[in-house]
Amino acid sequence: QVEFDFFDGAAPVSIAQLKQMEKHFKELSGDVKDATVSVQVGSNQGTGVIVTRDGYVMTAAHVIGGADRPAIIKLPDGTELEAKTLGLNRQFDSGLLKIKAKDKYPYLSPGVSSELKTGQWVMAIGHPGGWEEDRGLVDRIGRILNNGDSAISTDCSLVGGDSGGPLVDMNGDVVG
């Protein structure tokens, strides 16, 4: 069996290559889900990703709404933690929170989104419709359609509640 490099966007042309991709996506999904959380600020609900060991969480600006607001972070196992919104950038629809409890959290490292290429495989993770114990996180596989100056377009389908969830490259680094 010859391994093929799909990290830069190669498409599988055989069942063996498709199975190789599926195996990688399953492993990647497991790694990414530990750092992907539900975020609730007032009546707003979305998804976020822990980006530092001490509990900084990135999400969408429209999920947190503003700075200095109380928030609830729900870990994948359902544990609820208090957090505080720190700030946002509406131009890029990004926001930052900090989990109040001092602990060591699983986190994902930032990637370099400017290096993304059209056709490159990515994974989006989120809580469509909000956190649900019986469903857990949902991941979607897709490709980069366009990497512009202020936005990345993919063919990963997203629905309400997914906002703020991580878009990761095939190494598991957060690129959007």
Along the 176 residues of the chain, how does pLDDT read in single tens digits? 456 778 778 888 888 888 888 898 899 888 899 999 999 999 999 999 999 999 999 999 999 999 999 999 999 889 999 999 999 998 888 999 999 999 999 999 988 888 889 989 999 988 877 777 777 788 888 889 988 877 888 888 777 777 888 889 989 999 88
Contact predicate 45/63, CB 8 Å? yes
The rounded distance, in Å, linking the Cα atoms of 134 and 122 is 25
What residues does 80 pair with on adjacent strands? Answer: 74
If one counts every other C-beta atom within 10 angstroms of the C-beta of residue 120, the result is 20
pTM of the model: 0.87
157 is catalytic: no
The one catalytic residue in 29, 38, 94, 163 is 163
Which segments within 1-149 are labelled E, that is strand?
A: 36-41, 44-50, 56-59, 70-74, 80-89, 94-99, 121-126, 138-147
93 is catalytic: yes
Residue type, 133: E
163 is catalytic: yes
The rounded distance, in Å, linking the Cα atoms of 85 and 18 is 41
The one catalytic residue in 62, 113, 153, 173 is 62
Element holding 168 (H helix, E strand): strand 167-168
